[in-house]
Structure 1
Amino acid sequence: MSDDMAVRQKVALVFGGSRGIGAAAATRLVQDGFAVALTYVSRPDKAEQLVRTIEEGGGRALAVEADSADPAAIRAAVARTVQRFGPIDAVVVNAGILRLATVDAFGLEDLDRMLAINIRGVFLAIQAATAQMRDGGRVITIGSNTAIRASIRGSSVYAMTKAAVATMVKGIALDLAPRRITVNNIQPGPIDTDMTEGHIPALTGMVPLGRVGQPREVATLVSYLAGDESGYMTGASLTIDGGFVL
């Protein structure tokens, strides 16, 4: 092995990495020694600020605009990551949206967009990233504990998409096992992010541990799944929700 190969920096791509859980995951992976590319859609300011913070701390980062409803944008994000940093070692698929409405009121446009981003976008991100991934790599999806139980009225479509991800991970794990690429799913409960802004008091009362989670706590689990120690785990969904669905 050459000296260059011996010191090669690992590369991670975080879809939906500018805010919340995605930003925490990107930050943690940089701390773990990865060069990190992260995608964003609506907040370029947040994405660029995170990149600056990482670089000021001595890390390497790249922000890429990419709507996960757009297959071409997904493929372009992978291509830009590889062009800048080299082959991918880990991909975190965090991009997702939440629309809440009861079955009688759920609009077709919202239904189609949730399916496009939360299911199709996840599949296409994994497909594109693993085509440029080194053998022995890591795939990590960010699902939801609603895949286990939809506890809130109006969450049927969101829960459906997250249950689909949990099932998808099992099948893709079998597909990629010959390459020693592990595929695992994290299922957070209520986390203090933009998505839960304004709902923290109500959600806190539903969590047995008496608080909502922090993005860094999910990022710690991402770190484990992206590391060498998790090499014997694949096809799993790991719930981190303070006992919400017990």
Structure 2
Amino acid sequence: MGDTAENRRVNEEHDFISSGLGYVLHPTITRSLEDSRGSNSEKLRVADVSQGDQFSATASLPFSPQETIVDQITFQSVIKPGSIPPESRGIYDVVCIRLLHASLEIDQWDEAMQNLVALLKPGAWLQWVDWDPMTARIATVKPGAPDGILRGLLSDYADAMRAAKVGNTYRIANAMRPNLEELDSDMYTIDPSVELSKIIASGAISYLQQNGKYTSAEAQDVGIKTEQEIDQAGSLCFFDLWSHIGRKPVC
């Protein structure tokens, strides 16, 4: 799968997530920022830690582009020890993470959380939104239609994550707890659709290929067959979606 196709898939995934949540910033965070700004004319600084672009434009935030600065920060920057430069520390009002936890190995969690918290101003907010890939399921299929390829793909995906010891969303809340306060976690169920099924399947195939479970040829073959099966069966596949928020202590 080419980079352009993968970027398009990730951005479509972001659209489904934002639509399912009903927000790009948690309402608690939005209210807090509105209350704290008052007559403050300083621009809000938001760190976008995601693949793709979780904010299709700054206008998608609940603040005008004129009062908002959005900086994109790579996953590599928060995983690598000592990667947050002094000038980036303590400058953000919100750090928004999406679709990161499946990329974190067990020994990277502490470093990643320390780096994410280091970006925040005192009293600023962290928001972490991620699928729970272990909850992947097919909601419905047309009677008599085949769904074995999609079910097999989702099973392979979950098995690969278990083998790599990644993909457990409980680690997000556990990692936030020692570093943040005013914690809140909410689970959302996204309305399934054929297009979402294709995005989930494509993401699973990409993960399996990146982790050496599929060759490029195998990934392409499974992708074609899975899409054909989804179209034929009308398969509706989805994950549980989690949104976790927490606030950096003022002192």
Q: TM-score, normalised by structure 1?
A: 0.45
Q: TM-score, normalised by structure 2?
A: 0.45
* Structure richer in strand, relative to its length: 2
Which structure's relative contact order is higher, taking Cα pairs within 8 Å and 6+ residues apart?
2
